[in-house]
Chain A
Amino acid sequence: MAEKKELWRWTESRWTNPKLDWKGKVITSGIDVGSVSSQAVILADGELYTYSNMRTGSDSPDSAMKAVNWAMEDTGLKLEDIKYTVGTGYGRVNVPFSQRAITEIACHARGGNFMYGSSVRTILDMGGQDCKAIHCDERGKVTNFLMNDKCAAGTGRGMEVFADLLGVSINDVGDLSLKVEKEPQPVSSTCVVYAKTEATGLLREGWPKNKVLAAYCSAMAHRIMTLLERIGVEEDFAITGGIAKNRGVVTRLEKEVGIPIMKTDYDTQLAGAIGAALFAKALLEKGKK
């Protein structure tokens, strides 16, 4: 039997700032153990020094350890060099070496503020299994927020299921979905299970893959729009989390919102961990346990 390619599997990554030497600097870290992905971010004197971004395994403490070890690889850093760690995300209380757990809502606001600048007022965190619309002030402190319902509709996990169903690599889903001459009707449900059934039907009717993907990305954008409408979008507007990398969803959402979505060179999946690492720095400076 031919080996089945895991099309949903997105690329894991790590990066170290070649221009920085961490020695003699204050080291803090933020670990974001999400339902789908885990990130470790290490700051040296508040500057981004090294990070890793990988899939979450079935064991949260183990995922946190793996992420931080990978981030520290070849840097000479050891766990005991990190003076303060904040855990965040779905597995926030399961980060074994952390001093404090803070919600990903607060961390995404703070991390978004770092990545996009202090003018950002609305952050949409599109994660693996949920979606959060956050308002924040110029410091990146949350002023209001709204989360989606209790299911995985319109989230990263749903997109993974679709990539698998259609045999398209998750990295290509967004771009491929934009290659349609005319935008099709969105699928009527973003519930992963129902949408999958509907997509199977469309494929049987002879729809090409790109058109089915367009219908799903558009349904997802529309669903997120209803979340944003409930809380309101204040400029500047930025997106964090994995789905922010999916141009198929972002382009359609931008059109619906009618406000430009900010761009960044940072990996959008890092926002939570960056926020956590910044909180770690603040807490260390204030001598908080």
Chain B
Amino acid sequence: MGYFCTYVPEEILYAAGVLPVRILGSHEPQDLTEPHIFAMFCPFCRDCLAQGLKNRYKYLDGLMIAQSCLHIRQAYTSWIKHRPVEFSKFLCMPHKVQSPHAYEFLTEEYKTFKNEVEDWMGKKITDKDLKNAIEVYNENRRLMRKLYELRKRDIPPITGEQVMEVVMAMQMTDKAEHNKMLKDLLKKLENHTPDRETGSRLMILGSEDDDTVFMNMVESCGATFVIDDHCTGSRYFWNEVENGKDLLSSIASRYIDRIPCPTKDWEERKRIPHILKLCKDWNVDGAIIMQQKFCDPHELEFVSIKKALEDAGVPTLFLEFDVTVPIGQFKIRVEAFLEMIGEEDLF
């Protein structure tokens, strides 16, 4: 089952024996999507749709999305129209997660969704299945938090680029398998000192971001990403499912209470204190705020996040990403930013 957004309750799919696979782009220039989606919709949703139209996800039996933003929803609707799949679902994830009614609403939506998945798969999802799925997912989240803990060290044993690869693998593979690999990785990193200078400690935050080329470029300029806030990063796994009234409502609470995406962080901006805490706990020297070009929700957040960070003494650099990033133009901005937050020996 391909999924477009990290608000999809993967636990329910996993319990039914379905493997959720995140839809990501390929970072190749293309014009295939021009007739189907606006050019001023974000490059990520256009890149995702291009993968569908190019039949690169031909192995999928189903495709789904949970409501987050209109751009990615357009990618979903266009995809199922032109490349129909056996099972498709638009899950109505409420925008106003801060409403007290959100829990009950989402639980009811989950009940419907569970029935639909059962009909499709031709079998019941038992409480045992759900419990097992929750445990596998929670273990995965705990292990990822452990991996992130290691990045608090003065010399982090792993780069931001490598962590981004781990998160992408996490969104594509069976979590039980990923757990095994994570345990191995954690063991290897326990006493590992990398053969590179840490340099400035950076945070990267913003919208969907799987641009490893950019991460590599920054980390070769005398810096290390030690923490992130991305849906292809910590936002995806930060929160666990906790025991609640019943299994479905426990899962619903997890997705309602998780570190929000800016489409849902309203009216109270809960993400800002979280970001500030990450900066402090991971001891960052500066933050790169990125977003996919034309991403309205992140654009709206940018002003207040930048202000909050700078008030807390964390300098920021803002960059707008496209399907491919102009490495040269970004490099001068990044180098100048690093010179600004470090390089006292020049004076």
Q: Which residues of A contact B (CB under 8 A)?
A: 102-106, 110, 139-145, 147, 150, 279, 282-283, 286, 288
B59 in contact (CB, < 8 A): no
Q: How far is the CB of A257 from chain B (nearest CB, A)?
A: 23
Query: 5 additional contacts, CB 8 Å, given A140-B347, A144-B340?
Result: A102-B346, A103-B335, A104-B332, A144-B315, A283-B346
A142/B345 in contact, CB under 8 A:
no
Can you sample 15 A-B contacts with CB below 8 Å?
A102-B346, A105-B336, A105-B339, A106-B339, A106-B340, A140-B347, A141-B340, A141-B347, A142-B339, A143-B340, A150-B326, A282-B345, A282-B346, A282-B347, A288-B345
A110 to B167, CA, bound (A): 41
B345/A286 in contact, CB under 8 A:
yes
Which of A139, A142, A283 has a CB less than 8 Å from the CB of B340? A142
Q: How far is the CB of B240 from chain A (nearest CB, A)?
A: 39
Task: Collect the chain B residues with CB atoms within 8 Å of residue A283's CB.
Answer: 345-346
Task: Collect the chain B residues with CB atoms within 8 Å of residue A102's CB.
Answer: 339, 346
A102 to B336, CA, bound (A): 8
Task: Collect the chain B residues with CB atoms within 8 Å of residue A140's CB.
Answer: 347
Which of A142, A150, A282, A286 has a CB less than 8 Å from the CB of B336? A142
Number of interface residues of B (CB under 8 A): 13
B307 in contact (CB, < 8 A): no
B333 in contact (CB, < 8 A): yes
B346/A279 in contact, CB under 8 A:
yes
B329 in contact (CB, < 8 A): yes
A106/B346 in contact, CB under 8 A:
yes
Tell me the dominant secondary structure on chain B's binding face: helix
Tell me the dominant secondary structure on chain A's binding face: mixed
Beta-carbon nearest neighbor of B333 in chain A: A147
Q: A-B pairs with CB below 8 Å: how many?
A: 42
Query: For window 316-347 of chain B, which residues contact chain A by CB distance below 8 Å?
Result: 326, 329, 332-333, 335-336, 339-340, 343, 345-347
A151 to B340, CA, bound (A): 24
Beta-carbon nearest neighbor of B343 in chain A: A106
Task: Collect the chain A residues with CB atoms within 8 Å of residue B339's CB.
Answer: 102-103, 105-106, 142
Q: How far is the CB of A52 from chain B (nearest CB, A)?
A: 24
Task: Collect the chain A residues with CB atoms within 8 Å of residue B315's CB.
Answer: 144
Beta-carbon nearest neighbor of A147 in chain B: B333
Beta-carbon nearest neighbor of A86 in chain B: B346
A139/B347 in contact, CB under 8 A:
yes
Q: How far is the CB of A98 from chain B (nearest CB, A)?
A: 15
Task: Collect the chain B residues with CB atoms within 8 Å of residue A141's CB.
Answer: 340, 346-347
A105 to B343, CA, bound (A): 13
A106 to B336, CA, bound (A): 6
A147 to B345, CA, bound (A): 25
A101 to B99, CA, bound (A): 53
Query: For window 237-255 of chain B, which residues contact chain A by CB distance below 8 Å?
Result: none
A103/B347 in contact, CB under 8 A:
no
Beta-carbon nearest neighbor of A139 in chain B: B347
Known: A150-B326, A150-B329. A103 touches B336 (CB 8 A): yes
Q: How far is the CB of A211 from chain B (nearest CB, A)?
A: 34
Q: How far is the CB of A88 from chain B (nearest CB, A)?
A: 10
